A and B are shown apart, each in its own frame.
Chain A
Amino acid sequence: MRNAVAGGGSGVLALGVPGAEEKTFDVAMRVDGGFLRSVFHSMLTARILENKLSSLYKAGKIVGGVYLGRGQEAISASLGTALIQGKDCFAPLIRDQAGRTAFGEPLIDCTRTYLGSVEGPMKGRDGNIHRGRPEMGMPAMISHLGAQVPLIAGMLFAKRLKGTLDGCVGATSVGDGATSTGAFHEGLNMAAVEKLPMVLIVANNQFAYSTPNNRQFACADLVDRARGYGIGGFSVDGTDLLACASVVSEAVRLAREGGGPQMVVAKLLRLGGHGEHDDASYVPECAKGGHYGRDCIEVAMRQLAEGGYATVDEMLAWQEEISEEVQRAVAQAQQEPVPDPYTEDWTALSTKFPMTTK
């Protein structure tokens, strides 16, 4: 099994996926209890924060959309936890609140951006999930899907030119829908050609907005594409914390050690609409009631408790702490000024013209 991944560089490995040939990692060998606790803490933080965002939206306190990562926390937080802020780079996408938190984005960046505070990283110039801190290795996503794949490739390419690439990883996430874009293909192929240490998470949540998988792609499993790109491929049950944590850690380790790009396809279900404006009535009951309809947070709590990684009391205490932290981040952002069109610097260029560089 290990050889299929590390040896060929284009092996495909499935873990915890129902129906797939049973293949298991020894979790203890790859992730320790501290890692699992850390992943879960970020999952829980994201869930509590996003529940609050949903309430704020429904109360009319948030303009624009609210886009949640409900159901995708395990895979997203596993990635964010496996990365090292200050060394690695991470381009989160729409459903990566858990990964952002795990990577080190402060909660206040989220609440400020959603609530339009001028103190936020986007200063009211962009909103919701379109935020980032590129100077900290976390670029701000644009809405055009797949676009961050070559961008992360470029960040890694630059690190190579600067001589600082050793031991670094660059990561980004997409959904099943983004795998149909030209940008995804171009960027992943480019990363493969350059053998960059990139980890690409494909969160296959079965619906791109309302479009189901059978109108999105025709291959049996998106992970099959890894072979075509000549990169490592993993398939994992995205509702299973232990599986996500170990597979993502392994993918990150392989990339970090020079194994080239690694693609992880997480099977899961989006537990909600595309955004909070969407009731997701198109998601059939059988999907909601099926294996992937289970809530990864509940699965994770059970796994942590049963494995002795955390007690239920501990997890309940975290929940209280996080709720208070979320409340503070919301309250602070709500007190802060919103942008003022009269004092806004209406310029899209940093350069003043006419200019001379001489």
Chain B
Amino acid sequence: MDGAFHEISNDYKVSVTYIDAIREAQATLLREDPRVFLYGQDIASFGGAFKATKGLADEFPGRVFDAPISEDAMIGLAVGAAIEGMRPIIEMQFADFSSIAFNQIVNQAATHFYRTGMPIPITVRLPSGGTPGSGPFHSQSMEGLYAQYPGLVVMTPATVSDAYHMLIDAVKINDPVLFCEHKLLYRWLKAKAINGDGLPIGQARIARPGKHATVVTYSAMVHEAVRAADRLQADGWEIEVVDLRSVKPLDLDTVLASVARTGRLLALGEAFPWGGVTAEIVAKVTEEGFHLLDAPPQRLNARDTPVPYHPKLWAAHRPTPESICEALRKLLSF
């Protein structure tokens, strides 16, 4: 079993965190590819709001730049630089602020290859998802919005190794990539080392094998799903957890193969409940794998309100191992 969960450890001697992997990937890219540069708010000598670029401005002089608070222009600049043959990595300080850059992302970058035949190899790092106390404007999950638009790749790494390898891949891909890195995993998720070469982009991973029900999820929710699955194991349920890794492209083959084994599907995500990635998974499985289903496919998302500030409200807003267990019990009892 190749699993993210095996990377997680409470052993404080282990040293590679999810954000270390992101920093390391950027260092590798800067070292190996002269076309790569980093542009974002407070990312140069300060090292970024989350320290994802700590020390890189010193290590790579003239390659890491502070941007004005101009998210739209940051992406505009990246697209222009890509036209000139560069491979910019743009750090949005928080995924939430990419709403200011929405136009440049979905209209300028995403349409460019189809309209002109010239692909736009930019990578936009989106510090995504909720953390306690972060509130409505520092907690959002934007992957569903961007995945809706043609011309974008949307990555949602759940493991330390994926954070590293997928970021390397994101910059090597010739198309615009939204790299949704989960803030909750930044320092909490640790691994002994960055493993292997990573799976190809567009291939999902079985994070935990099982046979009674499938949870299809991505990013931080992979870990919540595995926790829920561990709890249900005490009752004899074997829950399979599929980590999508990228929500676009979406690896429907792996999802359908899992549903074929279990006959039951729960699509799990941290984003708002109307539409989005989980709705897409349910729609696709229903369309193409209706005959595989023994129960109506279920979705579990955040609540349909802004992400609340108070930790008690926040914890009840997003799916938790408890609410995932509840959804799975309902699914298993159908």
Q: A: which residues have CB within 8 A of B? A: 121-123, 125-126, 130, 132-135, 139-140, 142-144, 147-159, 161-162, 182-183, 186-187, 189-190, 193, 347-351, 353-358
> When the two chains form their complex, are residues B200 and A354 in contact, meaning their CB atoms are under 8 A apart?
yes
B327 located at the interface, meaning its Cβ lies under 8 Å from any Cβ of chain A in the complex: no
**A143 to B112 Cα, complex, angstroms:** 13
Task: Write 28 A-B pairs (CB below 8 A) sorted by A numbering.
Answer: A121-B116, A122-B116, A132-B116, A134-B83, A134-B116, A139-B83, A143-B107, A150-B70, A150-B77, A150-B104, A154-B77, A154-B88, A155-B81, A155-B84, A157-B77, A157-B80, A158-B81, A161-B63, A162-B85, A186-B68, A190-B73, A349-B113, A349-B119, A353-B249, A354-B203, A354-B249, A355-B173, A357-B169
**A190 to B37 Cα, complex, angstroms:** 17
**A54 to B152 Cα, complex, angstroms:** 36
**A125 to B81 Cα, complex, angstroms:** 23
Q: B: which residues have CB within 8 A of A? A: 37, 62-63, 67-68, 70-86, 88, 100, 103-104, 107-108, 110-119, 150-151, 153, 168-169, 172-175, 197, 200-203, 249, 251
> When the two chains form their complex, are residues A161 and B173 in contact, meaning their CB atoms are under 8 A apart?
no
Known: A142-B108, A355-B201. A147 touches B116 (CB 8 A): no
Given contacts A125-B115, A182-B72, 15 further A-B contacts (CB under 8 A): A126-B111, A130-B115, A143-B107, A147-B108, A151-B79, A152-B80, A154-B81, A159-B84, A186-B70, A186-B71, A347-B114, A351-B173, A354-B200, A354-B249, A354-B251
Q: Which residues of A contact B100 (CB under 8 A)?
A: 182
Known: A150-B76, A186-B70, A190-B67. A357 touches B172 (CB 8 A): yes
> When the two chains form their complex, are residues A189 and B173 in contact, meaning their CB atoms are under 8 A apart?
no
Q: Which residues of B contact A151 (CB under 8 A)?
A: 76-77, 79-80, 83, 108
> When the two chains form their complex, are residues B115 and A140 in contact, meaning their CB atoms are under 8 A apart?
yes
> When the two chains form their complex, are residues B118 and A189 in contact, meaning their CB atoms are under 8 A apart?
no
How far in angstroms is the closest Cβ of chain A from B262?
23
Q: Top 8 A-B pairs ranked by shortest CB distance?
A: A154-B80, A150-B76, A353-B202, A354-B202, A158-B84, A154-B77, A186-B73, A186-B70
**A112 to B141 Cα, complex, angstroms:** 42
**A186 to B68 Cα, complex, angstroms:** 8
**Closest A residue by C-beta to B150:** A348
Q: Which residues of B contact A189 (CB under 8 A)?
A: 68, 70, 73
> When the two chains form their complex, are residues B72 and A183 in contact, meaning their CB atoms are under 8 A apart?
yes
Q: Which residues of A contact B251 (CB under 8 A)?
A: 354
How far in angstroms is the closest Cβ of chain B from A189?
6
Known: A144-B103, A354-B249. A348 touches B80 (CB 8 A): no
> When the two chains form their complex, are residues B68 and A193 in contact, meaning their CB atoms are under 8 A apart?
yes
Q: Which residues of B contact A135 (CB under 8 A)?
A: 118
How far in angstroms is the closest Cβ of chain A from B105?
11
**A349 to B118 Cα, complex, angstroms:** 10
**Closest B residue by C-beta to A126:** B115
How far in angstroms is the closest Cβ of chain B from A8?
22
**A152 to B73 Cα, complex, angstroms:** 10
**Closest B residue by C-beta to A148:** B76
Q: Which residues of A contact B74 (CB under 8 A)?
A: 150, 190
Q: Which residues of B contact A134 (CB under 8 A)?
A: 83, 112, 116, 118
Q: Which residues of B contact A353 (CB under 8 A)?
A: 200-202, 249
> When the two chains form their complex, are residues B80 and A153 in contact, meaning their CB atoms are under 8 A apart?
yes
**A153 to B197 Cα, complex, angstroms:** 36
How far in angstroms is the closest Cβ of chain B from A5?
25
